[in-house]
Amino acid sequence: MAALRHDNSTLPAVNPLAVTPAEFAAAYRDVAGVGPALALEEVKSLLRTGRWSGRTAISTSPAKSWLPTLVTAKSEESPEGTVTKFLLRVPGTDRVKLESGTGTLPAGLDTESVLIPMIGQMGKLTYTLCVSSQVGCAMGCTFCETAQMGLIRSLTAEEIVAQWFTATHVLGQRPSNIVFMGMGEPLDNLANVLRAIEILIDHNGAAVPVSKITISTVGRVDGLRDLAKKVNDPGWRRLNIALSLNAAIDATRDAIMPINRKWNLDELRQAFQEFPRYGGGKLMFEYVLIPGVNDSEADARAVAEFVQHFRLADGRHRVCLNLIPYNPRRNSPWPAPTEERVEWFMQQLMDGEVFVKRRRTKGRTMMGACGQLGNEQIRKRQVVAAVGLTVNGQQPA
């Protein structure tokens, strides 16, 4: 117990959510009474149980410097269990101002994350954690609540890891899967996303299997190529990739997803065909069904044709398409599709030999469903300095 009386003011100021366990341990190499072996034991205990092991003075160091600040957590019941949407406070930025130009955003911004219950084929209840990679988004998809905020700033690796830590050790729901499908475009913040994954999959820490992590993109072809290089590395080959497709006709996709004006469907198809796949896992395509926009027979035929390019030589499907009924954003020009229309469109896809699954709506009434994450107050402000992707020379609106 003598080590616990160590003056913790002299301990290294290392955020355990910002570094790998080995890096955390290395910071204590020359600290008397701790050392790298005990420091590794401490951080391993923290990430796996939510508590320090208690064997060194690290256990007495103040947590306020790194512990995520939970702003609020809201729950909604679904047929498969409780959906929980939670907000974490992160430092603000001077990149935005009020529309009147008389003020700036408050010192803190909020990230939004969602814990989604899933009942598997064997009836076992698990949770998928939908994490954000940015506050806001620069991609400008017209159907998405987050896009209406514009891009405020990208999250750091520790702010991404903090979402997992909060779900697991504060809310008490250890997720079986992590999907980068919250606020932001992950490939627009790829370095921090990959760093966060590196921390999460470390066997001396959280030890999340890389095969249980999915990065979703609207189709940044440059980012896909960069990600492909990483996926070829040992230990990363089972990382999952998902495409937010939403239209297989260029004119339609141009209208609802400005990214398509930069990289069209042919370029996107080629990038995904070249993306390395290990272990035989399927590519995941997501299709948000919007009434009167992308729900016609012609749309279904175009999707079927697009997907056929990914058939394996033996005829097996390489793509699983998740059909997602549109969840209206605030002030949406479109309603949610009727159940009859969703079933009709799904049948059209199956008739076109598309391997399709229906994603059930969860969290819609608390603005926690797919496409609904975002801060309404930030929508009333404007971004001062343009960052991120430009489309045809302009920031996506």
For residue 65, what pLDDT is reported?
A: 74
For residue 312, what pLDDT is reported?
A: 83
10 class by beta-carbon count within 10 Å (0-12 exposed, 13-18 middle, 19+ buried):
exposed
Give yes or no for a contact between 24 and 36, defined as CB atoms under 8 angstroms apart. Answer: no
- Rounded distance between C-alpha atoms, residue 336 and residue 361, angstroms: 11
The yes-or-no verdict on residue 377 having pLDDT over 80 is: no
Domain(s) labelled CATH 3.20.20.70 in the chain stretch across: 69-383
Give yes or no for a contact between 131 and 214, defined as CB atoms under 8 angstroms apart. Answer: no
**pLDDT digit string, tens, across residues 68-117:** 899 999 988 888 889 999 999 998 765 555 444 444 555 678 899 999 99
The yes-or-no verdict on residue 39 having pLDDT over 80 is: yes
For residue 29, what pLDDT is reported?
A: 92
Lowest mean pLDDT among 8-12, 55-59, 98-102, 282-286: 98-102
- Rounded distance between C-alpha atoms, residue 231 and residue 187, angstroms: 14
Q: Write out the two tokens for 30.
A: 């020359």
- % pLDDT > 90, the chain: 63
- Rounded distance between C-alpha atoms, residue 43 and residue 52, angstroms: 7
What Cα–Cα distance (Å) separates residue 134 from each residue in 26, 197, 257?
30, 15, 18
For residue 101, what pLDDT is reported?
A: 46
**pLDDT digit string, tens, across residues 195-233:** 999 999 999 999 999 999 999 999 999 999 999 999 999
Q: Angle at the Cα of 59 (from 55 to 63), degrees rounded to 5?
A: 165
Give yes or no for a contact between 157 and 196, defined as CB atoms under 8 angstroms apart. Answer: yes
Give yes or no for a contact between 246 and 260, defined as CB atoms under 8 angstroms apart. Answer: no
Helices (H), 237-355: 250-256, 265-274, 297-308, 339-351
Instruction: Write the DSSP assignment of 54-81 as a string of letters.
Output: SSSGGGGS-STTTS-EEEEEEEEEETTE
For residue 2, what pLDDT is reported?
A: 38
The phi-psi region of residue 382 (left if phi > 0; otherwise alpha if psi is between -120 and 50; otherwise beta) is beta
For residue 390, what pLDDT is reported?
A: 30
- Rounded distance between C-alpha atoms, residue 149 and residue 112, angstroms: 13
Neighbours of 30 (CB within 10 A): 10
Mean pLDDT of the chain: 85
Give yes or no for a contact between 71 and 89, defined as CB atoms under 8 angstroms apart. Answer: yes
Is 130 tagged catalytic? no
For residue 287, what pLDDT is reported?
A: 97
The yes-or-no verdict on residue 247 having pLDDT over 70 is: yes
For residue 368, what pLDDT is reported?
A: 41
Neighbours of 60 (CB within 10 A): 15
The yes-or-no verdict on residue 297 having pLDDT over 70 is: yes
What Cα–Cα distance (Å) separates residue 165 from each residue in 66, 131, 182, 216?
11, 11, 16, 21
**pLDDT digit string, tens, across residues 261-277:** 999 999 999 999 999 98
Lowest mean pLDDT among 64-78, 114-128, 151-165, 379-393: 379-393
- Rounded distance between C-alpha atoms, residue 223 and residue 263, angstroms: 12
E strands within the chain? 69-78, 81-91, 96-98, 108-119, 125-130, 134-136, 151-154, 177-180, 213-217, 240-244, 283-289, 319-325, 356-358, 381-383
- Rounded distance between C-alpha atoms, residue 266 and residue 388, angstroms: 23
For residue 8, what pLDDT is reported?
A: 56
28 DSSP assignment: T
Amino acid sitting at position 196: A
For residue 196, what pLDDT is reported?
A: 99
* Closest by CA position to 191, among listed 156, 231, 241: 156
Amino acid sitting at position 394: Q
What Cα–Cα distance (Å) separates residue 100 from each residue in 128, 317, 383?
40, 53, 12
* Closest by CA position to 163, among listed 145, 152, 179: 179
The yes-or-no verdict on residue 279 having pLDDT over 60 is: yes
- Rounded distance between C-alpha atoms, residue 222 and residue 44, angstroms: 35
Query: Which residue out of 137, 141, 144, 370 is catalytically annotated?
Result: 370
Give yes or no for a contact between 224 and 230, defined as CB atoms under 8 angstroms apart. Answer: no
Which pTM does this prediction carry?
A: 0.87
For residue 59, what pLDDT is reported?
A: 86
- Rounded distance between C-alpha atoms, residue 213 and residue 201, angstroms: 9
For residue 67, what pLDDT is reported?
A: 86
Q: Which residue has the tokens 């066997």?
A: 203
Reported as a pLDDT band with limits 50, 70 and 90, residue 393 is very low
CA 273 to centroid of chain Cα atoms = 22
Q: Considering all CA atoms of the chain, what is the largest pairwise distance in Å, rounded to the nearest integer?
A: 73
Domain 69-383 architecture: Alpha-Beta Barrel (3.20)
Mean local confidence (pLDDT), 160-173: 96
Reported as a pLDDT band with limits 50, 70 and 90, residue 40 is very high
Q: Write out the two tokens for 261.
A: 């004006």
First to last CA, the chain: 59
